[in-house]
Chains A and B, each alone.
Chain A
Amino acid sequence: GQQVMQIPQYQHVQEGEDFTTYCNSSTTLSNIQWYKQRPGGHPVFLIQLVKSGEVKKQKRLTFQFGEAKKNSSLHITATQTTDVGTYFCAGGVDSGYALNFGKGTSLLVTP
């Protein structure tokens, strides 16, 4: 079945450093979504990418969807302590269908 691999599993950075997490799917995706989960909280939707090669930005966050629609990345520029949490990618086969989540990347930012 479809699998979504996400690396790295953990990342510890100093405040102000950049951070990137990567996702790869074994199959072509119709869309990929990114979520952030704070410790003890539930996943919060960040963004959805649908088009091949799509790039979207949200302030310091940059999301990319690969040309083959099998990989994606989330890049955070100049991390802040508020960025702490686990970032999950989730690949969709089609709109409205269940998502296959990557294992997540736990980000720790120290001042």
Chain B
Amino acid sequence: GAVVSQHPSWVICKSGTSVKIECRSLDFQATTMFWYRQFPKQSLMLMATSNEGSKATYEQGVEKDKFLINHASLTLSTLTVTSAHPEDSSFYICSAPDWGNQETQYFGPGTRLLVL
């Protein structure tokens, strides 16, 4: 089946630094990718929709200047958490719909971010 990878799988950083998370579709092209955030014992919350070749669409309450998204190619989207703070510590997961298959979304393995 289709595979989505994320890198890094976990990261620890100091408050005030920026962290980049990559999401790649390994064996299919994705013009759209989604970024979710999951706090401990909570559900996944959509942060933004990443669109190849155009600006990302952010959900209400998500700061676009803080969570920078770049969909550089049909297989890569990046999420950069700028000036990270401890409250940004979370599990970040990307997904990509496989338009050529059953239009199901495939999730990456997630990135655990801990901001000290």
Q: Which residues of A contact B (CB under 8 A)?
A: 33, 35, 41-45, 48, 88, 90, 95-104, 106
Residue in A44, A45, A106 whose Cβ sees the most chain B Cβ within 10 Å: A45
Q: Tell me, yes or no, whether B8 is within 8 Å of chain A by CB.
A: no
Other contacts beyond A88-B44, A97-B97: 8, CB < 8 A? A33-B104, A44-B107, A45-B105, A48-B104, A96-B97, A96-B99, A99-B105, A104-B43
Count of A-B residue pairs with CB < 8 Å:
47
| Interface SS of chain B | strand
Residue of B nearest to A104 (CB): B43
Residue of A nearest to B96 (CB): A96
- Chain A residues closer than 8 Å to B95, beta-carbon distance: 99
Across the interface, do A101 and B103 meet the contact criterion of CB distance under 8 Å?
no
Chain B interfacial residues counted at CB < 8 A: 23
- Chain A residues closer than 8 Å to B105, beta-carbon distance: 33, 45, 99
Interface residues of B in 88-103 (CB under 8 A from A): 93, 95, 97, 99, 102-103
Residue of A nearest to B94 (CB): A42
Residue in B42, B49, B103, B110 whose Cβ sees the most chain A Cβ within 10 Å: B103
Interface residues of B in 61-116 (CB under 8 A from A): 93, 95, 97, 99, 102-110
A59 to B36, CA, bound (A): 30
- Chain B residues closer than 8 Å to A48, beta-carbon distance: 102-104
- Chain B residues closer than 8 Å to A99, beta-carbon distance: 34, 46, 95, 105
Shortest Cβ distance from A42 into chain B, in angstroms? 5
Q: Tell me, yes or no, whether B25 is within 8 Å of chain A by CB.
A: no
Across the interface, do A95 and B97 meet the contact criterion of CB distance under 8 Å?
yes
